[in-house]
Amino acid sequence: MFNTNKLSSAVRRGILLASSASMFAAPMALAQSDDENSAEPVEKIQVTGSRIKRVDLESVSPVTVITAESIALSGDTSVAQVLRNSSINTFGSFRGQSGYGSGASASSEVNLRGLGAGATLVLMDGRRLPGLGYDGGSSSDMSMIPMSIVERIEILRDGASAIYGSDAVAGVINIITKKQFDGVNVGYSFEDPGADGGNSSKYNFSAGVTSDKGSIVFIAEHENTQEVSDVAVSGDYALNSYSTYSPVANFYDSDAGAYLYNEDLCGDVADTSIESDRCGYYYGNTTWLYGATEKNSLMTKVEYELAENLQLITRFSAMQTSTDTRYAATPVSTSSLTIDADNAMNPYGQDGSVYFRTSSLGTRDTKTEKTTFEMVSGLEGYTEIAGNEWDWQVYYQRTSAKEEVFGYNLVNDIVVQDLIDTEQLDLFNVQGLSTDDWYAYNADLLTNADHTGTYQTTQMRDIIDGSISGQLFSNNFMTVSAVFGAEYSYLDFEQVSDPESGLGIISGGSGGDDVYASRERQSYYTELAIELPHEVEVSAALRYDGYELEGDTGASISTSEFSDTVPKLGISWRPTESLLLRASWGEAFRTPTMSEMFATISYGFPDAYDSYYCDTLGNPGSDDSYCSSGQQHLTYYGGNPDLSPENSESLTLGVVYDVTDDLSLEVSYYQYDYENKIEDIDVEDLIAADLDGTSSSIVRDSDGKITSITSGYTNYSEVTTNGFDITANYDLATEIGNFGVNLEYSHVFSYEEEGTEWAGELFYPDNRANLTVDWTDGDKWTASWRTLFIGANGETFYSSYDYADNYFKHNVTVSYHVNDNVKVSAGIANLTDELEEYLPGEWRGFDDTLYDPLGRTVSFNVQASF
């Protein structure tokens, strides 16, 4: 089903004649008669992983090809879901949840081999997609790509910076869009998950015309998805999912080491409960796991033959998403609230700290708007040089991407502290009001502290590129083909938060990490393919990228320059028509993002256990709430203009074997050494190194508790990993129809980061597999059963969590052609309603990067063509 095998000769030729895998390919010749075909040379095509067109679909690097037809039968309904469920997406991929700032709650990434989303390059028709604003333009948002434009997805399972430049470390994902379509197609689909909410409906429209001179295609899609609350998955009052920051304020007496609060109010105010020695707030009762989303997209592609050897190709696309997410009411936590002993609203007669949440303002609701426009236009042709035909192409690409985030019901800390100091805010009901009157009294005052946070990123990118490829030399012994090319790129990147957030006086947001930067790149590349006797092919590629960057760090204008030249070598040998042996080695790199280099100071609240306060000072028993791995710490971050590129070296070895015309196998071994990785210095590492409480990066109060932490980016991390992939495809024709079986399996031998082996540990499964069995009667009916497997993982490093057992998810899909124009499909994903939880009963006690928390999902789709 997901085809990675070496195709049989007949199938290969059929595919070659049916479609081209490259946007650079010259126009395909019109169909000829059988006699003419016998004399016609086989058309060459270009596949992902090489810029040189060739007869064979297989090259020295392994490529997984996922067609639109196989996606329709898989049970996956989005590009993000297809990639998340791929076995080579080793440890899962981030899926946006409410509570993530700067637009991350509305994004989905892909993380091949576990090397990070920024280490996977995503292309559309061989061209870079814009990166996400919140991570400095590095990783791409897979949730924005509409399914209706996808013809197939090609995944290069190998490092390829020598071909594509920066970010192609773990691999390359190339979304090939539809380019030829005659007539009109309209469609509708919906999904209904087992969990409450999450229902989605999708409408798509396609129209196209093809003639002898070219083609035009127009595709539009509209999708609506409802929100999913955390209660729908985790339930009400999920275990231990309470916070000290409560709408019934907790007063901390440092002298007595005790919390005090109004016991009459606690439990009477919604979602509050007496927990141990304080009033807790169950935040999970009001939060949404996934937001409500509306998506609109359109794409038009035109290919027109200007002359016999000249073709105009243009593509315009526009994608827009709007996502509403919800998180618990704002805790006033960016700044520490205090109340003096002589304050009239202090019933305890002691100076103390106040832990308070402004639930009367409402939940923290966030709206994220993303808009991307892209225009690609170019000329392709061929010319004769020294008796050989050379293909050439020149392109211009313009991309405009904008993300806007509006955070409602945030809190201005200074205003709240002023309301306390001026003896207006009655946090402990000193006035003796009823619960409703007390709540209303404070609610009226707190409207003065209400703040709407804004965050915006804009990216304007221009790319001009050109290349020429053809045959350099040929004799009876060898044939040498080559491609030579160059690119110029300019990126203007801006990221701005509202001024108050930038000052660090707003609680509930994600800070003011502003960026004003630009980046200029010049690239030059070449690639050689040498065909030798006995079906041996040697390939070599070399690419140079030079960067000039400038950014405003807030203190000054900083500039930086760096360059990288990376090679790639490969060899393949076909001892028989049905057997292919191949190997490739290469270097890759990833440039620092604009945020990593030029971000001004921002802040966040990462979780970490304070070993100095809790262990060295011996406080865990007296303060078990603070002394937990889930304790959040105010942490400040900033950019580092002195960063250098990350570097990687990869090796792949593989065998592709057509055992019979109906059975094919592929086995590939991979290894990566990824070093000089850029990391924000881990808060846990900073705390662990603070043995005596004197670290210059950590500010503590008089008791020794952490007040704030200062972190940042540096080149210091290294990851090494190796493993293998197995793919098998089998076709069986019977009297009752044709069956197909596809297996893809990935095993991780080792995944080591900074000397720690993670393969097989919790969140790092060392086995993933997908098994698909499909059937068609050759006429009306098609059916598929797909089983997704994630191996057991856990125990060693996370003994407080449950061990994750072997996980099986079954998807069933059936489709029926009502007539020549109408097709209907229905499916059930996660048929047995499986959910793997590492903290059963806890709020978000599951890993949704790997496992689907929405339960059994029913889907329906109808498509009509005219």
Contact 160, 527 (CB under 8 A): no
> Nearest CA to 175 among 300, 68, 289?
68
Contact 257, 343 (CB under 8 A): no
Q: Which SS3 state, helix, strand or coil, does residue 798 take?
A: coil
Pairing of strands 171-177, 120-124: parallel
- For the segment 381-420, what is each residue's pLDDT rounded down to a tens digit? 998 887 888 999 999 999 999 999 999 999 999 999 999 9
pLDDT at residue 859, rounded to an integer: 95
CA–CA distance, 326 with 107 (Å, rounded to integer):
15
- 602-604: strand order across its sheet: 602-604, 635-637, 706-710, 698-700
pLDDT at residue 602, rounded to an integer: 67
Element (H, E) at 39: helix 34-39
Q: Count of alpha carbons within 13 Å of 404, Cβ hemisphere only?
A: 7
Backbone angles phi and psi of 442, in degrees to 5: -70, -35
Cβ-based neighbour number of residue 377 at 10 Å: 15
pLDDT at residue 444, rounded to an integer: 95
Largest interatomic CA distance in the chain: 102
pLDDT at residue 630, rounded to an integer: 75
- The DSSP annotation for 243-264 comes to ES-BSSPEEEETTTTEEE--TT
| Contacts with 761 (C-beta within 8 Å, 6 or more apart), sequence order | 793, 794, 795, 796, 797, 798
pLDDT at residue 55, rounded to an integer: 56
pLDDT at residue 50, rounded to an integer: 77
CA–CA distance, 547 with 519 (Å, rounded to integer):
7
Element (H, E) at 343: none
Which segments of the chain have a pLDDT < 70?
1-47, 53-58, 510-512, 554-555, 602-603, 620-622, 624
pTM of the model: 0.87
| Contacts with 616 (C-beta within 8 Å, 6 or more apart), sequence order | 691, 692, 693
pLDDT at residue 311, rounded to an integer: 95
Length of the chain: 866
Element (H, E) at 17: helix 9-18
Q: How far apart are the first and last CA of the chain?
A: 28
Amino acid present at 801: Y
CA–CA distance, 371 with 458 (Å, rounded to integer):
10
CA–CA distance, 152 with 137 (Å, rounded to integer):
25
Alpha helices in 677-781 (DSSP H): 683-689
- For the segment 553-588, what is each residue's pLDDT rounded down to a tens digit? 766 788 999 999 999 999 999 999 999 999 999 999
Cβ-based neighbour number of residue 646 at 10 Å: 27
